[in-house]
C-alpha cells in the first residue's frame, strides 16, 4: 500500500504563515516554530508553496533560481532544518514544482533573450511579430494571458515576442527542447529530492505542451482584443509524453508523492494523468468545485450557481476514479481561491464546521489550506483596492480602468469589479494567518506585508486551541475520524441521495460492510428530516429533531 493515499495534507503559503524576525514577511523560521501545532492538529504532509529565489511578481511562482531560497524566507540551511523538523515528527514535506515558466530574471532566460543564436534561445517560446495592414507591429496571435493582455511580450533586443501565459515576467519554458527539459529535471526536481523532500505539487501541470502551429483562438469575448487560448495550451499533444518522461527519469527514483494542478479537464483527460498504470503522477487537483460561479478563463466575471451545481461538482470530483486504478484529492481552498465558508456557505463558525464534516467524508487525499482550520473568512467588502496585493487582481483592475478611462472610484464598472473581487480574488487566501488577538493577529511584530483581516481578535488560533467547541478542535476531530474510518471515508464509494434538493446535501459513503449517511443543511432555514437508523458519529450542533441552518450530521449505518 502506498503512503500518500491516507494522509492529511496542509498547504502553507510562506509569506503569510508566520513571521519569525519582525520584517513583516512570513518565513521558514516561522514555519519551524509551528510544526508541533501542525502535528498536533493531525497533519501528515506539508505542501509548501514556492519559497525559491524570485522577484515575487507572482508571489514566488516566478522563480529566478530553483536551487536557492528567497532570502526573505531564509536559506538552504533553514530548508534542511525544516525537512528534518518534519521528518523527526513523522511528517513529510512536499514543495511546489513550477516548471511551465520561470522568472524573466532566471539565468536561462537572460541567456535566451540575449541573441537569436544563443544556445538557450530555444529554451523559451519565441516568435516573430505580425504586422497589420497599416504596418503596425502585432503579437504573433490573439492569445490572452491569464493575467490580462496579450500572452506575448515584445522583446526589443531581438525584435521577437516571447510567450508568457501568466505575468510578463513569467516567460513560458519550451518543453519541446530536450536540453531544456533535462535542465528542469536536474535543477527543479533532483536538486530538492537529493536534499530529502518527499514530493511535489506540480504547478499548471496541464500547460507544458502547446499546439505548435500557434493558431488564433476562437473569439469568445467579442469586446476583448485577446482571447482565452486553453484549447491550444491545455492538455496539449505531448503533455503525457512529458509527464511520463519526468516520472521515469526522476520521480520514479524516489518514494515520492506527486499531485498535479490540472484544473479543467474532462474525466477521460483527467484519468490519463493519474491512472496508476500511466506512471505520470499520483493524484490531481480538479477545479470543478472551486471555480463554481466564475468564468474559468476570466475569474472576475461572476456566474450564478446553486447548491445543486455545488453538489454535482463534488460528485464528479469524487466519482471520476470509481472503478479505475486512479487516485484523486479532496480540497476546497488553496492560495488561488477565496475562503470556502464565504464562497460556499454561511460565512460563520457553524458553516466552517459543516464544510469540515463534508471534507471528512469525501474520497481522495485530503488537503486543507492554512487558516481553514480556524474558519478564516474573506476580507471585508469595505476594503479598497489598495489592500489587494495579487498581480491577477491588480492587473484586471488596472486594465478595466485603462480601457474605460475611469477616473471616479464610484464608477459602476469599478464598483461591480470590487464586488466580484470581494467574492473571488486570490487575495482572500493570502492574508496573514491569525494566531492570536494581539496587533496584526500575532503574525508579525513588525508591519505585515499585507493587512491582516479585521476579524483577527475574534477568529484566531489562541482563542480556539483549548476550546473543545471551536472550529480548530472540530478540525482535529475530523482529521482523526477520517483515518479511523479510512475505508469508508477516504476510499469508499460516493452516492448522492437528494440530487435536486436546493437546501440540503445528503449522500452515502459505502464500503462492502459499512455505510455512512451524511446530511448537510446548506441553507439559512430549518429543514425537517427523518434521521436514519444508525449511530450519530459527529455533528456540528446540539441535536434537535430538525436540521438547523448550516447544521451537518454524519451517521454510521450498519
Contacts with ligand GLC by CB under 6 A lie at 58, 61, 98, 166, 203-204, 261, 335-336
Closer residue to ligand GLC in complex, CB, 206/476: 206
Task: Residue 316: name its binding partner from ligand GLC, Ca ion, none (Cβ under 5 to 8 Å by kind).
Answer: none
Closest alpha carbon to 202 in 125, 314, 281, 135: 281
**Contacting Ca ion (CB under 5 A), which of 23, 176, 224, 454?**
23
Task: Residue 307: name its binding partner from ligand GLC, Ca ion, none (Cβ under 5 to 8 Å by kind).
Answer: none
* Shortest CB 27 distance to Ca ion, Å: 4
424: left (phi over 0), alpha (psi -120 to 50) or beta: alpha
- CA separation for the pair 83, 479 (Å, rounded): 23
Name the strands in the sheet holding 152-155, side by side, starting at the edge strand that comes first in the sequence. Answer: 126-127, 160-163, 152-155
Contact between 340 and Ca ion (CB under 5 A)? no
- Residues 103, 55: contact at Cβ < 8 Å? yes
Question: Does 203 qualify as catalytic in the annotation?
Answer: yes
Closer residue to ligand GLC in complex, CB, 160/390: 390
Strands, E assignment, 435-551 = 493-496, 504-510, 515-521, 535-539
Closer residue to Ca ion in complex, CB, 17/417: 17
C-alpha cell at 427: 487575495
> Do β-strands 137-138 and 298-302 pair in parallel, antiparallel, or remain unpaired?
unpaired
Contact between 105 and Ca ion (CB under 5 A)? no
SS3 for 29? Answer: helix
Closest alpha carbon to 187 in 68, 101, 82, 81: 68
Task: Residue 396: name its binding partner from Ca ion, ligand GLC, none (Cβ under 5 to 8 Å by kind).
Answer: none
Closer residue to ligand GLC in complex, CB, 126/166: 166
Contact between 27 and Ca ion (CB under 5 A)? yes
Residues that bind Ca ion (rule: CB under 5 A) add up to a total of: 5
Q: 104: which DSSP letter?
A: T
- Residues 286, 334: contact at Cβ < 8 Å? no
Contact between 32 and Ca ion (CB under 5 A)? no
Contact between 25 and Ca ion (CB under 5 A)? yes
* Shortest CB 291 distance to ligand GLC, Å: 12
Contact between 75 and Ca ion (CB under 5 A)? no
- Residues 395, 147: contact at Cβ < 8 Å? yes
Cα–Cα distances (Å) from 193 to 77, 226, 274, in that order, read 15, 40, 21
Contact between 462 and Ca ion (CB under 5 A)? no
Contact between 21 and Ca ion (CB under 5 A)? yes
Closer residue to ligand GLC in complex, CB, 50/442: 50
- Residues 297, 228: contact at Cβ < 8 Å? yes
C-alpha cell at 494: 460516493
Q: Which of 261, 336, 390, 427 is catalytic?
A: 261
* Shortest CB 24 distance to Ca ion, Å: 7
* Shortest CB 56 distance to ligand GLC, Å: 12
Residues engaged in binding Ca ion (CB under 5 A): 19, 21, 23, 25, 27
Catalytic residues: 203, 261
Amino acid at each position: 500500500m502506498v503512503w500518500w493515499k491516507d494522509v492529511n495534507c496542509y498547504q502553507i503559503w510562506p509569506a503569510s504563515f508566520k513571521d519569525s524576525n519582525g520584517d513583516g514577511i512570513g518565513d521558514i523560521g516561522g514555519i519551524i516554530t509551528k510544526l508541533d501545532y501542525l502535528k498536533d492538529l493531525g497533519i501528515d504532509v506539508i505542501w509548501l508553496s514556492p519559497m525559491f529565489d524570485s522577484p515575487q511578481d507572482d508571489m514566488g511562482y516566478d522563480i529566478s533560481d530553483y536551487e536557492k531560497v528567497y532570502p526573505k524566507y531564509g536559506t538552504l540551511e533553514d530548508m534542511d532544518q525544516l525537512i528534518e523538523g518534519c521528518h523527526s515528527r513523522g511528517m513529510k514535506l512536499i514543495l511546489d514544482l513550477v516548471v511551465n515558466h520561470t522568472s524573466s530574471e532566471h539565468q536561462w532566460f537572460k541567456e535566451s533573450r540575449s541573441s537569436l543564436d544563443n544556445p538557450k534561445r530555444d529554451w523559451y517560446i519565441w516568435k516573430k511579430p505580425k504586422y497589420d495592414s497599416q504596418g503596425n507591429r502585432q503579437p504573433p496571435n490573439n492569445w490572452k494571458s491569464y493575467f490580462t493582455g496579450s500572452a506575448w511580450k515584445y522583446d526589443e533586443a531581438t525584435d521577437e515576442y516571447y510567450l508568457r501565459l501568466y505575468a510578463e515576467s513569467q516567460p513560458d519554458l519550451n518543453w519541446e527542447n530536450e536540453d531544456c527539459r533535462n535542465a528542469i529535471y536536474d535543477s527543479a526536481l533532483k536538486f530538492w529530492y537529493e536534499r530529502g523532500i518527499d514530493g511535489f505539487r506540480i504547478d499548471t501541470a496541464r500547460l507544458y505542451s502547446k499546439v505548435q502551429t500557434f493558431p488564433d483562438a476562437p473569439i469568445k469575448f467579442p469586446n476583448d482584443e485577446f482571447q482565452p487560448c486553453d484549447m491550444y495550451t491545455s492538455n496539449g499533444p505531448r503533455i503525457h509524453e512529458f509527464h511520463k518522461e519526468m516520472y521515469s527519469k526522476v520521480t520514479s527514483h524516489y518514494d515520492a508523492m506527486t499531485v498535479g494542478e490540472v484544473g479543467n479537464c474532462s474525466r477521460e483527460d483527467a484519468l490519463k494523468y493519474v491512472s496508476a498504470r500511466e506512471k505520470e503522477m499520483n493524484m490531481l487537483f480538479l477545479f470543478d468545485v472551486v471555480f463554481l460561479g466564475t468564468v474559468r478563463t476570466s475569474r472576475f466575471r461572476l456566474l450564478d450557481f446553486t447548491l445543486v451545481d455545488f453538489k454535482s461538482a463534488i460528485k464528479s470530483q469524487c466519482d471520476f476514479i470509481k472503478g479505475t486504478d486512479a487516485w484523486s484529492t479532496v480540497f476546497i481552498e488553496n492560495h488561488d481561491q477565496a475562503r470556502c465558508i464565504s464562497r460556499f456557505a454561511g460565512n460563520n463558525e457553524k458553516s466552517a464546521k459543516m464544510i469540515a464534516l463534508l471534507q471528512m467524508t469525501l474520497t481522495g487525499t485530503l488537503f486543507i489550506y492554512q487558516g481553514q482550520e480556524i474558519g478564516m473568512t474573506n476580507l471585508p467588502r469595505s476594503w479598497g483596492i489598495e489592500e489587494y496585493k495579487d498581480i491577477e487582481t491588480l492587473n484586471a483592475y488596472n486594465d478595466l480602468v485603462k480601457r474605460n478611462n475611469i477616473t471616479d472610484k464610484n464608477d459602476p464598472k469599478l464598483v461591480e469589479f470590487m464586488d466580484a473581487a470581494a467574492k473571488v480574488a486570490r487575495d482572500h487566501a493570502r492574508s496573514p494567518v491569525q494566531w492570536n488577538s494581539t496587533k496584526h493577529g500575532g503574525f508579525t511584530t513588525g508591519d505585515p506585508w499585507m493587512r491582516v483581516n479585521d476579524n483577527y481578535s475574534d477568529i484566531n488560533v489562541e482563542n480556539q486551541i483549548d476550546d473543545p467547541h471551536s472550529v480548530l478542535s472540530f478540525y482535529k476531530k475530523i482529521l482523526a475520524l477520517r483515518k479511523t474510518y479510512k475505508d469508508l471515508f477516504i476510499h469508499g464509494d460516493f452516492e448522492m441521495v437528494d440530487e435536486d434538493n436546493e437546501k440540503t446535501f445528503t449522500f452515502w459513503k459505502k464500503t462492502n460492510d459499512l455505510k455512512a449517511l451524511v446530511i448537510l443543511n446548506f441553507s439559512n432555514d430549518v429543514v425537517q428530516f427523518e434521521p436514519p437508523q444508525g449511530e450519530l458519529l459527529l455533528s456540528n450542533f446540539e441535536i434537535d429533531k430538525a436540521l438547523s441552518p448550516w447544521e451537518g450530521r454524519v451517521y454510521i449505518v450498519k
